[in-house]
Structure 1
């Protein structure tokens, strides 16, 4: 078959002027452009459809933190001490007379008594008989004195008639005076016996609280029996706090204190009424005596702790949450003018219910991070939120 007459069963040859190859290239270019755009969109928005962070340094976030400018407040300097409880004025009560057998005990420990009230009585049968005998002697002496006076009166009537001499009058006068003197002697003896009998009653020397009782009915007691009762005069108690020599140096009578007995959650206010004038040369310690009002929880002989106000100072006061510690060092975070956190080493003082006093490291004008300081790092950018401190006093109530 000739070339001219052959069927048209294949693509014709493309001459240089034909448009077929350039149209196909344009289609390929469009497809490639679409693919590039899709890849770029995928990289920008990610799989979730949200824009991703731009490539490069991450923008710094500034977390909000609460800060406070504490200022300066008057804070009591507290001295902590331990010691024992006792009666402020303890009164030992024993036998004042010759003693004898106890017949009755009228009081119990913990009972309040008045001055002169009978605590116990002793057998007085012998003393009663002696007193009756002395009373009879008084009556005999009074009869003799009455007779001597009558005889003297008759003699004075007869002396004018010469029946009685003046010497006889003088003799009768002396007899009358002697009889009157015997009456007074007998009366004095009876008074002495009654006083001795009265001393058989064991009485309270002053008003107060009975602490101990060491006598029972039927017991024979005497001058050598020792103390039968112990009393707290007026019921007043005290704590004898043991303090170091350095703490005693700045302590004076009249300062306030708070006493807490061991095993109790209650605290009792008191005042220092005596500071030891001597120091134990072995322990280098002394005693401060804290006066307390009576309360059943204050038991003499018990152990207690005390917080004594040893002075006052004006220092910044922070909440405990603001103070951090690391290897025995306390510190806080402060926020500078550029709103960046900085670590500041501090020295803490007294810790009270109102907060922690800062004795060194702050002047009170700084912006101190109240919380979340443990999650900050030096130089970190923050957004400070100022908190106004409540107007409280760090002093203990009187």
Structure 2
């Protein structure tokens, strides 16, 4: 019994020393390791190294298998398909757009041409249509009426004197043969008779003058047309050479003063047709260029084309309007805007040759219409031109051309 207890005691001491050694190692003063700790760490490291190696091997095999699938022959690059057109040659009516102001073609200022006087009545308003000679305003003529009455009385007095002179002459002629009156007396009586007749004519002429002056008192229209302005009121006193009392558009004719650049003005000819649309109106009015300005404004570098328009109440002088003028016709190729490219060297198109390779072709553009742009230089019209996607092409590129359909 004592032997067994001693062995147990010795074993306990050994175990106790081992624990103390482990704790000392934890304190950093000395290192002691139980026999079981070393083998556990080594086996753990081996396991992790094996897992990493297997992962690397699997990844390598995967890349090898997939890279081998791409080692076949390289397919050639796909040729782009482009839409092309043959422009041909079209007859294009050249047009020029312009803006300007409406005005009376022949504006007639009207004032007082007589002695003047007080305005009694105004008979017309702006917008009225008048005839030639129609009275626009009535001027007081009471003074002139009295003058005419006085002159009419003078005519009667002159006529009485003339009759008396004629009677005296007739009696003298009856007595001259008897020798009671000399030839000289007859001549004197004849002269008196002639002077009396002349006084009658003079009085009549004076009356006609007064009548004419009275007729000129009223303000009348010198021609048929449209009244544009009225600048007089009843009670106003007007005189000869006074300011403008009325303004009339002769014949009601209007015009558009279209402002054009130097280049456009050079293309416009007298007689060219034009469509004029006033601002705020959906109606268009057909007119004709009747005058092209011979001078250019040095400040704006513009000139004026005057477009005559027939009378219509919708055409109001002073209003703003736009116009489309014809500038002749031209026969040339025409392309949509999408076919024309431009860069620092200018405008160009891509032409597809017989070998389906594209080539750059410089062009000059002309008139711009709703159907396309006229090519004034660079194309004959028989070429095959790339319609779209020209911006993605380069010279010498090979393409597969497909002719555009009518809907394109």
- Matching residue within 198, 218, 223 for 2:240: 223
1:107 matched to which residue of 2? 124
Asked if structure 2 preserves the Cα contact closer than 8 Å seen for 1:208 and 1:231, the reply is yes
Q: Provide the C-alpha distance between the structure 2 equivalents of 1:167 and 1:258, rounded to a whole number of angstroms.
A: 85
Number of residue pairs aligned between Structure 1 and Structure 2: 333
Segments of 5+ residues of structure 2 without an aligned counterpart are 1-71
1:318 matched to which residue of 2? 335
Give the C-alpha shift of residue 227 in structure 1. 0.6
- Paired residue secondary structure (2:147): helix
Instruction: Describe the superposition over 1:152-197 as per-residue Cα deviations: whole angstroms up to 9, x where unpaired.
Output: 1122112112222222212211211111111111101101100000
Bigger-Rg structure (1/2): 2
Q: Provide the C-alpha distance between the structure 2 equivalents of 1:85 and 1:213, rounded to a whole number of angstroms.
A: 19
Matched, 1:172 2:201: no
Give the C-alpha shift of residue 87 in structure 1. 1.4
Matched, 1:381 2:408: no
2:304 matched to which residue of 1? 287
In structure 2, do the counterparts of structure 1 residues 368 and 264 end up closer, same or farther at CA, with 3 Å as the change threshold? farther
- Trace 1:344-359 onto structure 2 (pairs within 5 A): 347-359=364-376
- Matching residue within 203, 221, 227 for 1:210: 227
- Matching residue within 126, 135, 151 for 1:118: 135
2:176 matched to which residue of 1? 159
- Paired residue secondary structure (1:140): helix
Give the C-alpha shift of residue 215 in structure 1. 1.5
Asked if structure 2 preserves the Cα contact closer than 8 Å seen for 1:68 and 1:368, the reply is yes
Give the C-alpha shift of residue 205 in structure 1. 1.2
Give the C-alpha shift of residue 319 in structure 1. 4.6
The worse-fitting range, judged by mean Cα deviation, of 226-235 and 157-166 is 157-166
1:150 matched to which residue of 2? 167
Give the C-alpha shift of residue 124 in structure 1. 0.8
1:45 matched to which residue of 2? none
The worse-fitting range, judged by mean Cα deviation, of 273-282 and 168-177 is 273-282
Q: Provide the C-alpha distance between the structure 2 equivalents of 1:232 and 1:81, rounded to a whole number of angstroms.
A: 24
Give the RMSD, CA atoms, in angstroms. Answer: 3.4
- Matching residue within 236, 240, 245 for 2:253: 236
1:278 matched to which residue of 2? 295
- Matching residue within 123, 137, 140 for 2:154: 137
Give the C-alpha shift of residue 94 in structure 1. 0.4
1:13 matched to which residue of 2? none
Matched, 1:95 2:112: yes
The worse-fitting range, judged by mean Cα deviation, of 93-102 and 285-294 is 285-294
Q: Provide the C-alpha distance between the structure 2 equivalents of 1:123 and 1:95, rounded to a whole number of angstroms.
A: 13
Asked if structure 2 preserves the Cα contact closer than 8 Å seen for 1:341 and 1:382, the reply is no
Instruction: Describe the superposition over 1:110-159 as per-residue Cα deviations: whole angstroms up to 9, x where unpaired.
Output: 22222222111111111111111111111111111112112211221121
In structure 2, do the counterparts of structure 1 residues 287 and 359 end up closer, same or farther at CA, with 3 Å as the change threshold? same
In structure 2, do the counterparts of structure 1 residues 332 and 246 end up closer, same or farther at CA, with 3 Å as the change threshold? closer
Q: Provide the C-alpha distance between the structure 2 equivalents of 1:379 and 1:200, rounded to a whole number of angstroms.
A: 90
Give the C-alpha shift of residue 298 in structure 1. 2.3
Instruction: Describe the superposition over 1:201-259 as per-residue Cα deviations: whole angstroms up to 9, x where unpaired.
Output: 21111122211111122222223531111111122222222333444445443333333
In structure 2, do the counterparts of structure 1 residues 332 and 293 end up closer, same or farther at CA, with 3 Å as the change threshold? farther
In structure 2, do the counterparts of structure 1 residues 283 and 388 end up closer, same or farther at CA, with 3 Å as the change threshold? closer
- Matching residue within 210, 216, 227 for 1:199: 216
Report the TM-score when normalising by structure 1: 0.72
Asked if structure 1 preserves the Cα contact closer than 8 Å seen for 2:96 and 2:327, the reply is yes
Segments of 5+ residues of structure 1 without an aligned counterpart are 1-53, 390-398
Q: Provide the C-alpha distance between the structure 2 equivalents of 1:349 and 1:267, rounded to a whole number of angstroms.
A: 26
- Paired residue secondary structure (1:290): strand
- Paired residue secondary structure (1:161): coil
Q: Provide the C-alpha distance between the structure 1 equivalents of 2:239 and 2:377, rounded to a whole number of angstroms.
A: 66
Give the C-alpha shift of residue 363 in structure 1. 2.6
1:42 matched to which residue of 2? none
In structure 2, do the counterparts of structure 1 residues 336 and 260 end up closer, same or farther at CA, with 3 Å as the change threshold? farther
In structure 2, do the counterparts of structure 1 residues 272 and 181 end up closer, same or farther at CA, with 3 Å as the change threshold? same
- Paired residue secondary structure (1:179): helix
Q: Relative to total residues, which structure has the larger helix share, 1 or 2?
A: 2
